[in-house]
């Protein structure tokens, strides 16, 4: 079983959005997926799951004390992938979840408010991890916009590893969640679904070395 933690320092980075769409991408690839919603306040993933007409991926609410036991239980029950949707701040939950995880993704929008908080996240996240630039402006011919490219260069110059792909700001991501779906179901073959598919494919390449 593989385990991913999705972490960030602040709300609005798209953490739960990435969690949900990535979970559905994994489920669509044939994996049995469990999502643990560790945010005691917004519980976006859990609320999204309650709106779905199907029960996959399975989403449960959890806290710090549940993480180690939940991981062992998920493995025993035959899940292929466990995703921790962490709170939008760094605390003991995030530390434990990222220590348990095989890999951590840190969504961040390419803007000053997000970028300046990343060192606080990274100092408390167990490696390996990567920043995923999220909610980026659409660039020309599918390329990165200048703002996204500047954010990437700034992070890389600071020695922070950034995933070699980005997620664009698209209405389909939010519209899909509103109906209890993901972009794979809401707009199959659309640009948003293709971006999530690339993220999922890249993660698998990372795992397989």
Contacts of 25 by beta carbon, 8 Å cutoff, 6+ apart:
182, 184, 196, 197, 199, 200
pLDDT for 158 equals 87
pLDDT for 11 equals 64
What are the tokens at 8?
């960030």
pLDDT for 113 equals 79
User: Which domains, from first to last, does the chain contain?
Assistant: 2-204 (3.40.50.300)
What are the tokens at 66?
């549940």
Kindly report the pTM of this predicted structure.
0.93
What is the DSSP-derived secondary structure letter of residue 36?
A: E
- Cis? peptide before 128, omega within 30° of 0: yes
Each residue's pLDDT expressed in tens, for the chain with a length of 209 residues = 999 999 887 666 788 999 999 999 999 999 999 999 998 777 899 999 999 989 899 999 998 888 999 999 999 999 999 999 998 777 778 888 999 999 999 999 998 878 887 877 788 889 999 999 999 998 777 678 999 999 999 899 888 999 999 999 999 999 999 989 999 899 988 999 999 999 999 999 998 77
CA–CA separation, 178 and 176 (whole Å): 5
Q: Reduced to 3 DSSP states, what percent helix, strand and coil does the chain have, rounded to the nearest 5?
A: 45, 20, 35
Burial (CB < 10 A; 0-12, 13-18, 19+), residue 39, is: buried
- Cis? peptide before 57, omega within 30° of 0: yes
């Amino acid at each position: 079983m593989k385990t991913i933690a999705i972490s960030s320092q602040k709300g609005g980075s798209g953490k739960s959005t990435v969690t949900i769409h990535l979970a559905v991408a994994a489920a669509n690839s044939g994996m049995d997926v469990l999502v643990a919603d560790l945010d005691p306040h917004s519980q976006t993933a859990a609320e999204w799951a309650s709106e779905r007409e199907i029960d996959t991926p399975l989403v449960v609410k959890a806290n710090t004390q549940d993480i180690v036991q939940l991981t062992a239980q998920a493995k025993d029950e035959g899940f292929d992938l466990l995703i921790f949707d962490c709170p939008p701040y760094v605390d003991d939950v995030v530390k434990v979840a990222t220590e348990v995880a095989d890999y951590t993704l840190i969504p961040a929008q390419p803007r000053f408010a997000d970028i300046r908080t990343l060192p606080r996240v990274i100092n408390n996240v167990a490696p390996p991890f990567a920043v995923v630039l999220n909610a980026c402006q659409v660039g020309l011919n599918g390329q990165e916009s200048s703002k996204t490219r500047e954010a990437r260069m700034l992070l890389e110059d600071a020695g922070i590893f950034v995933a070699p792909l980005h997620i664009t700001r698209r209405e389909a991501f939010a519209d899909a969640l509103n109906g209890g779906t993901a972009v794979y179901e809401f707009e199959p073959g659309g640009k948003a679904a293709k971006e999530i598919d690339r993220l999922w494919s890249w993660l698998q390449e990372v795992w397989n070395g």
